[in-house]
Amino acid sequence: MKTGKRNLWPAALLCALLAMLSACGANTGADSNAAPADGAQDAVSEVPGGDDVKTFKFAFPFPAESLDGRAYNYFAEQVFEESGGSIVVELYPSDSLVAGGEVIEALMSGVVEMSHAAIAAFSPTIKELTPFEVPGGYRSDRYMEITYGTLETVDKIFQKYGLKFIIGAGAGVDMTFCSNSKLIKTPADLAGMNIRASGKWVGEAMKRWGGNPVTIPVSEVTTAFERGTVDAVYGGDGTVLAPFKLYEMGKYVTFTDLQEQYAGIVMNEAAYNSLSPDQQAAIDRAKDKFALYTEEQRQVEIDKLMQALEENGNEVYILSEEESKAFIDISLELMPEAAEIAGPDGEVLVEALAKLREGYSEEYQFGVIPE
């Protein structure tokens, strides 16, 4: 059985890169102790006093112990460290503060200052982001390229809505099918099946593939699968399959080359603008360290998942590039419609995604933050 799907840089080199980034920041040596709590998962236990200290609430739908939960905790620690203790990020995992469908309103109104932004939840309001939702719109193994290659464009779009896009999240996550009835190898295998979909465009692709989409937020996936509301779950290996242990409910697991829906860390723009230039620079350094950390942990997580699947006795199938293309060619038929909805500003994303599908840029490599 394969233990992973990517060739990654050695851990020692990655640690060195992290150390270099840390050395470039304003590290005062402040302590940062991750301490989960019933409601907020505080990233720090002690904060230096002073009127300049800012405390921000960060809401996200994943369990604290998941890859995303650990990555967001790491981000909070780095923000604290890089800001010399002047920015405190309180983490609220598992939709414990705001339900996933309400997060954009809470973020725009300032009820929370930071959140995980899943494009499927944000694009009904921020329509310019719609092209990100089309399955197969970009390669799942090009996290650095998609994140940094579109960062400026995505941030400009968010700013139109009073938000600040910090960084993409969900490094290199592949979409999987987890079924309790059969291995899914072709679109034809979905015929007659009720499949969990994350949003409108995945649902539209699912219809074209032959399945019956059922839109279910990530926090409700486990219950829906247990109750038989869906016959299979379509979700990211590191964001849905592993953290919610769906493989314990569904024997058959298929890995694809289709990308997880785009997501990232977003801030209320007024909260971001309340920071001093030095504090904003600290967040910028922290997000680069977060990107490297997420890439490193992604490989650790996929290795653990493959081991768990083997120990659990699951039947696993990894689609070849050609087999994944059978799904992608069908779903990309939706891109013109998505582009029309996205409008002129979203057209920039359409062009960028098309370019990314054409070929890999040597500027974006694992373990390297582009200049």
| Secondary structure string (H, E, C) spanning 98-146 | CCHHHHHHHHHHCCCCEEEEEHHHHCCCCHHHHHHHCCCCCCCCCHHHH
* Domain CATH for 58: 3.40.190.170
Q: Which two tokens stand for residue 34?
A: 């991750």
Q: What angle do CA 24, 30, 36 make, to 5 degrees?
A: 115
Share of the chain above pLDDT 90, in %: 57
Please give the pLDDT value at position 217: 84
Q: Which helix (H) or strand (E) segment is 271 a member of?
A: helix 269-273
Residue 240: DSSP 8-state? I
pLDDT over 50 (residue 5): no
Least confident segment among 138-147, 183-192, 230-239, 302-311: 138-147
pLDDT over 50 (residue 30): no
**89 against 16, higher pLDDT:** 89
Contact (CB, 8 A) for 171 and 291: yes
Q: Is residue 28 located within the same domain as residue 161?
A: yes
Q: Is residue 90 located within the same domain as residue 188?
A: no
Q: Please, which pLDDT band fits residue 345 given cuts at 50, 70 and 90?
A: confident
Q: Which two tokens stand for residue 192?
A: 């007659």
Domain that holds residue 91: 11-171+261-301
- 278 in any annotated domain: yes
**For range 326-353, the mean pLDDT:** 91
Q: Is residue 206 located within the same domain as residue 220?
A: yes
- 281 in any annotated domain: yes
- 106 in any annotated domain: yes
- 369 in any annotated domain: no
Q: Is residue 275 located within the same domain as residue 317?
A: no
Most confident of the following: 21-25, 238-242, 315-319: 315-319
Q: Please, which pLDDT band fits residue 361 given cuts at 50, 70 and 90?
A: low
Angstrom distance (rounded) from CA 129 to CA 168: 13
β-strand partners of 214: 196
How are strands ordered across the β-sheet holding 263-268?
Answer: 41-42, 87-92, 54-59, 114-118, 263-268, 163-169
pLDDT over 80 (residue 124): yes
Q: Is residue 152 located within the same domain as residue 24?
A: yes
Q: Is residue 28 located within the same domain as residue 166?
A: yes
Q: Which two tokens stand for residue 195?
A: 């499949």
Q: Is residue 352 located within the same domain as residue 229?
A: yes
Least confident segment among 14-23, 46-55, 290-299, 329-338: 14-23
Quote the mean pLDDT of the chain: 83
- 3 in any annotated domain: no
Residue 61 CA, chain-centre distance (Å), reads: 11
Closest residue by Cα to residue 262 from 128, 160, 361, 365: 128
Q: Is residue 178 located within the same domain as residue 123?
A: no
Where are any strands of DSSP class E within the chain? 41-42, 54-59, 87-92, 114-118, 163-169, 174-179, 194-197, 212-215, 232-236, 252-259, 263-268, 315-318
Q: Is residue 111 located within the same domain as residue 254?
A: no
Q: Is residue 39 located within the same domain as residue 152?
A: yes
Contact (CB, 8 A) for 164 and 268: yes
| Tens-digit pLDDT profile for residues 49-96 | 443 799 999 999 888 988 889 999 999 999 999 999 999 999 999 999
Q: Please, which pLDDT band fits residue 370 given cuts at 50, 70 and 90?
A: low
Please give the pLDDT value at position 203: 94
Least confident segment among 40-49, 201-210, 236-245, 304-313: 40-49
Q: How many residues does the chain have?
A: 371
Contact (CB, 8 A) for 182 and 250: no
- Confidence (pTM): 0.76
Q: Is residue 194 located within the same domain as residue 328?
A: yes
Closest residue by Cα to residue 319 from 245, 255, 363: 255
**43 against 226, higher pLDDT:** 226
The number of distinct structural domains making up the chain is: 2
Share of the chain above pLDDT 70, in %: 81
Q: Is residue 95 located within the same domain as residue 165?
A: yes
- 363 in any annotated domain: no
Contact (CB, 8 A) for 234 and 175: yes
